[in-house]
Amino acid sequence: MGAKLSGLGSALYDSKRREFLGRDGAGWGKLGTFYFFFYLGLAGFFCAMLAVFMLLSPRDAPRYYSESSRMATRSNPLTPGLGFRPQPDVEKSLIYVTKTGVTSEPNPYAQSLDQYLSVFYPERALQAKKVKAENDDDDDDDDDDDDKKQQAQDDRPQMQPFRIRNAGDCTSENKYGYETGKPCVLVKMNKIVGFQPEAGASSDDKAAYKATGCVNKDGAAAIHCSGEYAADIDSIGNITYFSEDGTSDKCGVLAKNRFPYEGKVARRDVYQAPYIWVQLTNPKPNTLINVLCRAYGKNIYFDKKAGRAITRFQIYVEDLSKRNTGKKSRKNGDM
């Protein structure tokens, strides 16, 4: 046992030759120097290739987009999806509304909408302050050129701040109708670089589009919401749509001049995607309602199974007064 330990110790360090793991100090120095310059050269090569990649890559939009990208295939035509807010929990699509009447207490769904709108739809003055502050802190010539580019492109219609002037109850002051049991849901179309929706409906959706009664003459795309199943259609009640161009009880319209999305401007995401407000004015209380919203356009292709051109969410309006009334009625009937 002692001989084995002695042999192991000699293998680690040979005191006669003054070697550690078979190499003396000079050997370890040469090996360390070699690998230092080897990895230094490897890191330099990686940084050089990354710099070439960044130099050749477009800064404001992907190189391949729209029909030239992998988003469009022979079996899957290019079609945008839809999204909705509020969604405090991104993993849940249920909007649980408690009808409490007007109170001073904060509402989580109203807070979620306020936060979303403040981040993605800031006021013009706040944008100008932010850009000015960034310009004052950075004197780089490239940034100066970017600022000029941004100012030149900000005059395009789709680059103007988005705002729905007549939003009814769908405002922060009214807490978006969540206290009165008339919830407002923000529905928007996902951004695709270079995509220009066309008013109307695809050949497969003409009958469904006609059934909605939507009138979309000057808009680019129409959005219509309804109950997903027969029971939901009976429970959803009336729906009011608030768009940039006005109010309707048939559908919401996204204006043509808000498209196409052309990517960032001078590396700043100044584009504000258009949206509509969908207000359920009298949903059946104490009932879970599955809501399906879909977009219509000549170049928008609906596929419920694949989730193209649609978004889904659930609404539950809790009305304790009606629930208690129902319990009393059943109790009196039993007596």
Q: CA–CA distance from 68 to each of 61, 62, 74, 137, 260 (Å)?
A: 13, 11, 12, 39, 16
Q: What pTM was estimated for this model as a whole?
A: 0.75
Query: Element (H or E) spanning 147, and its range?
Result: helix 141-153
Q: CA–CA distance from 198 to each of 31, 164, 247, 259, 295 (Å)?
A: 67, 21, 20, 10, 11
Q: Which two three-digit tokens encode residue 306? A: 């694949």
| Residue 144 confidence (pLDDT) above 70 | no
Contact assessment for residue 169 and residue 176, using Cβ atoms and an 8 Å cutoff: yes
Query: Element (H or E) spanning 43, and its range?
Result: helix 25-56
Q: How large a percentage of the chain has pLDDT more than 90?
A: 41
Please give the angle made by the CA atoms of 276, 278 and 279, to the nearest 5 degrees.
Answer: 140
DSSP secondary-structure letter at 162?
Answer: P
**Distance of alpha carbon 275 from alpha carbon 259, whole angstroms:** 12
The per-residue pLDDT for 110 is: 92
| Residue 263 confidence (pLDDT) above 90 | no
Cα dihedral sign for 72, 77, 78, 84? negative
**Distance of alpha carbon 268 from alpha carbon 242, whole angstroms:** 28
- 110-124, 251-265, 299-313, 319-333: segment of lowest average pLDDT: 319-333
